[in-house]
A = this chain, B = another copy of it.
Amino acid sequence: MLAVTDPVIAPGSDLPAARARVVPIHPLARTTGTDPAARRAPRCSACAMRALCIPAELNAEELAKLDAIICSTRPVRRGDALYRAGDAFHSLYAVRAGSFKSIVMHRDGREHVTGFQIAGEALGLDGIGTAQHNGDAIALEDSVVCIIPFAQLEAACREIKPLQHHIYQMMSSEIVRESSQMMLLGTMTAEQRVATFLLNLSRRFKARGFSAAEFNLRMTREEIGCYLGMKLETVSRMFSKFQRERLVDANGKTIRIVDAEGLARV
């Protein structure tokens, strides 16, 4: 299950508009004690995000086991936290619809956005090491996540080899993604960072069957700046600059990438 924020996926897989379906299909039984809003999840085996989340090699029996583990979803309202730093870690999450930001906080109150997660991507990996979440996950819009109880997942991994390998791959990919982000923060100019950010988002939307050229940002300029290590004014200036140079067409949160090659050359 679940791919990491910046997954390497076979593109062109058919992933229709799962993001529009905010209300779960079976708005029924409360399952997890700690979470009053939790609901019974539709089967993984029938999920639109399946190609992103689940290892391809699973047979029917293994799929059924997975379905038995991932039995609930949870809606998260815009601005609400899926979890916060210090919360006990019990589950991983897969974004089913909507989007999130992951943030870490310094003792002095400084915040930093470590990533944005959209449909099909994983949340909560930071909690495994210490059994507590290391940062907050905040919904950028009304969203739904699948809940994957980690103890059960671990047990399943001891039986289902492809699943085990998938989890290792997922965590490793997250490590690699963060390495790229460190390189971005450590070596790139503001202009290059914003260009890289837009191209990365574009690629991820495309992999989900959405337009690579035109999409809506769910985050504010400030959140983008906090992710890219710059001030919101600088983000805005870079958007304006790209506009002047006919590389993108940025109108508030609506982004149209006019010249992807040009952006990549920045």
Contact = CB atoms under 8 A, between A and B. Distances in A.
A62 interface: no
Query: How many copies of this chain sit in the oligomeric assembly?
Result: 2
Nearest to A114: B179
Nearest to A185: B185
A152 interface: no
Contacts of A104: 179-180, 182-183
Interface centre among A159, A171, A227 (most CB of B within 10 A): A171
Interface in A66-108: 104, 106
Contact of A112 (B135, B158, B187, B226): B187
Interface residues of A, number: 45
A3 to B, nearest CB: 10
A28 interface: no
A174 B177 CA distance: 12
Interface of A: 8, 104, 106, 110-112, 114, 125-130, 134-135, 154, 157-159, 161, 164-165, 167-176, 178-183, 185-187, 226-229
